[in-house]
Amino acid sequence: MDNMSYAVTVLSGGMDSTVLAHLSKGLNEKVDLVSVDYGQRHRTELEFAARTADKLGCRHDVVSLPIGEALSSALTDTDVDVPHGHYAEDNMAVTVVPNRNAILISVAYGIAVARGATTVQVGVHAGDHFVYPDCRPAFVDQLGVALKTGNEGFGQVELVAPFVHQSKTDICRLGDVLGVDWTDTWSCYEGGAVHCGRCGTCVERREAFRDAGVEDPTEYADPDYAFEVLARGSGS
Amino acid sequence: MDNMSYAVTVLSGGMDSTVLAHLSKGLNEKVDLVSVDYGQRHRTELEFAARTADKLGCRHDVVSLPIGEALSSALTDTDVDVPHGHYAEDNMAVTVVPNRNAILISVAYGIAVARGATTVQVGVHAGDHFVYPDCRPAFVDQLGVALKTGNEGFGQVELVAPFVHQSKTDICRLGDVLGVDWTDTWSCYEGGAVHCGRCGTCVERREAFRDAGVEDPTEYADPDYAFEVLARGSGS
């Protein structure tokens, strides 16, 4: 076991982490997939994560960790205004968990240390940098250094983010090369039976397929909205 | 609010974090206390944390975050041996959560960012360095840097560990100066009605009082064991 490449890969069930799971499977002798049920509004994605785990034949643990609930209960009845207005915007609902990536990565890292894995792989990518500081390369680098120090003697696990300098369009292109079945992925923040086509992540999804020149097999409740927004230039 | 010193202080209910809570209360204009119920075996300590919060008149949130359960469920039926034999030792039961401090600190940091606090204060101290790499100064420094990067633009929260270079004896001495009521603190890893006097933390507690020259008002089920162990030189 000692020299094998063994990745614990964080899989949300979205496009980015699903492509990452396929990439990890190619790169590593052994891959375990970990999803975190943190009470996300779009938890449908967890069912899509299970599909990918099944297809790749990887061990898949869904860790139930209500950080959203815990933090929001800790945030209620505070006498200080939450200083970030955009948290309240509809398509930013998921960002209601401050410091989310550090928490999720720390949990995955704990699992990796306990299992003797060699890497933790996460799908953060360059398209998220502008909005989310916890998707920036410097953050991933610094957190990786801290976690190695904090587990010295118990395991030497590298934190790896292969897409940190790539766009979502790049990830879509790679997924196409890897043969990812996109119907195994879920992006929408709304909890509907099909992708809404209107939320921020649906618009981003359509844009990535378009720009990568990859056919998008996704069924959208509103198939026109995204391209109208993108044509107006107000999409990302 | 903008220039006030505002600490989110992690309070377990043990000696170290209780002294830290008193120190924080002296140092800061505003102090919130946060405890994490992560399914620890010695959760009695949470009741003691509530006593301190009550005496100090601080807001106190007990965040329910079953990381122990989540990680142990993620670790069962693995086909890889957990590589750390000492995890199974009785007085190390709490260490069954790998990477625990990174997870707890990340959660407290998320709360601090959301509330607009200026610091997160944690009670890690030098006596823990040898056993726990996640109590070492380098880890605290590196994690603090990473978390600041990861929350840039949302808050500038400093991670502060005032006891990271001090021993438990030092902390006991300071607690005496600050007038801490030691009967508000709980150390024992066993779940009994009084401190057992035999587990690793009970022995460490008695040693700290003895070496600090502070009277120990704690009732121990076995009041002789600790000093017998310490006399034999096999205690810490």
Judge whether B12 and B123 are in contact, CB under 8 Å.
Answer: yes
| Residue pLDDT tens, chain B, 236 long | 457 999 999 999 999 999 999 999 999 999 999 998 887 767 788 999 999 999 999 999 998 887 777 777 676 644 434 433 333 343 333 346 788 899 999 999 999 999 999 999 999 998 776 678 888 899 999 999 999 999 998 888 999 999 999 999 999 999 999 999 999 999 998 878 999 999 988 999 999 999 999 999 999 999 999 999 888 875 44
Q: What is the CATH number of the domain that holds B33?
A: 3.40.50.620
pLDDT at position A234: 54
Supply the pTM of this predicted model.
0.85
Beta carbons of A115 and B75 less than 8 Å apart:
yes
A contact test, residue of B132, B154, B156, B157 with most A CBs within 10 A: B154
Question: Would you say residue A187 lies in a domain?
Answer: no
Question: Would you say residue B42 lies in a domain?
Answer: yes
pLDDT at position B6: 97
Six token digits for residue A189: 């923040």
pLDDT-derived band of residue A217, with 50, 70 and 90 as boundaries? Answer: very high
Beta carbons of A154 and B64 less than 8 Å apart:
no
A41/A32 Cα distance (integer angstroms): 25
Beta carbons of B98 and A110 less than 8 Å apart:
yes
Question: Would you say residue A202 lies in a domain?
Answer: no
pLDDT at A236 over 60: no
Judge whether A17 and A123 are in contact, CB under 8 Å.
Answer: yes
Judge whether B207 and B226 are in contact, CB under 8 Å.
Answer: yes
A172 appears as a binding residue in the annotation: no
Judge whether A164 and A137 are in contact, CB under 8 Å.
Answer: yes
Q: What integer is the mean pLDDT of A32-60?
A: 90
Beta carbons of A146 and B155 less than 8 Å apart:
no
Contacts of A17 (CB under 8 A, 6+ apart): A9, A10, A11, A49, A122, A123
- Closest partner residue to B74 (CB to CB) among A61, A136, A142 is A61
B96/B62 Cα distance (integer angstroms): 21
pLDDT at position A85: 36
Q: Per mean pLDDT, which range of A96-105, A146-155, B88-97, B183-192 is the poorest?
A: B88-97
Identity of the residue numbered A46: L
B22/B31 Cα distance (integer angstroms): 10
Exposed, middle or buried: residue B197 (CB in 10 Å: 0-12, 13-18, 19+)?
buried
**How near does any CA of chain A get to the CA of B73, in Å?**
8
Beta carbons of B34 and A74 less than 8 Å apart:
yes
pLDDT at position B131: 76
Question: Would you say residue A50 lies in a domain?
Answer: yes
Question: Cβ contacts (< 8 Å) between B83 and chain A: which residues?
Answer: 116, 154-155
* End-to-end CA separation in angstroms for chain B: 44
Instruction: For chain A, give the percent of residues with pLDDT over 70.
Output: 86
Question: Would you say residue A131 lies in a domain?
Answer: yes
- Closest partner residue to B146 (CB to CB) among A59, A69, A143 is A143
pLDDT at A91 over 80: no
Question: Cβ contacts (< 8 Å) between A146 and chain B: which residues?
Answer: 102, 139, 142-143, 145-146
B107/A65 Cα distance (integer angstroms): 12
State phi, psi for A150 to the nearest 5 degrees: -70, -10
Question: Would you say residue B140 lies in a domain?
Answer: yes
Q: What integer is the mean pLDDT of A42-51?
A: 89
**How near does any CA of chain B get to the CA of A196, in Å?**
29
More confident residue, A2 or B102: B102
Helix A200-212 to helix A168-178 angle, to the nearest 10 degrees? 60
Judge whether A193 and A152 are in contact, CB under 8 Å.
Answer: no
A199 appears as a binding residue in the annotation: yes
For A62, the enclosing helix (H) or strand (E) is strand A59-64
A contact test, residue of B77, B103, B141 with most A CBs within 10 A: B103
Strand partners, A60: A33
Counted domains in chain B: 1
Question: Would you say residue B117 lies in a domain?
Answer: yes
Beta carbons of A1 and B80 less than 8 Å apart:
yes
Judge whether A20 and A123 are in contact, CB under 8 Å.
Answer: yes
The residue segments making up the domain with residue A115 are: 6-180
Question: Would you say residue B119 lies in a domain?
Answer: yes
pLDDT at position B2: 57
- CA-based nearest residue in chain B for residue A73: B63
Q: What integer is the mean pLDDT of A109-123?
A: 94
Q: What integer is the mean pLDDT of A36-48?
A: 82
Question: Cβ contacts (< 8 Å) between A143 and chain B: which residues?
Answer: 143, 146-147, 150
Q: What integer is the mean pLDDT of A36-51?
A: 85
**How near does any CA of chain A get to the CA of B203, in Å?**
25
**How near does any CA of chain A get to the CA of B228, in Å?**
31
Identity of the residue numbered A133: P
pLDDT at position B96: 60
Identity of the residue numbered A85: G
- Closest partner residue to A147 (CB to CB) among B82, B102, B151 is B102
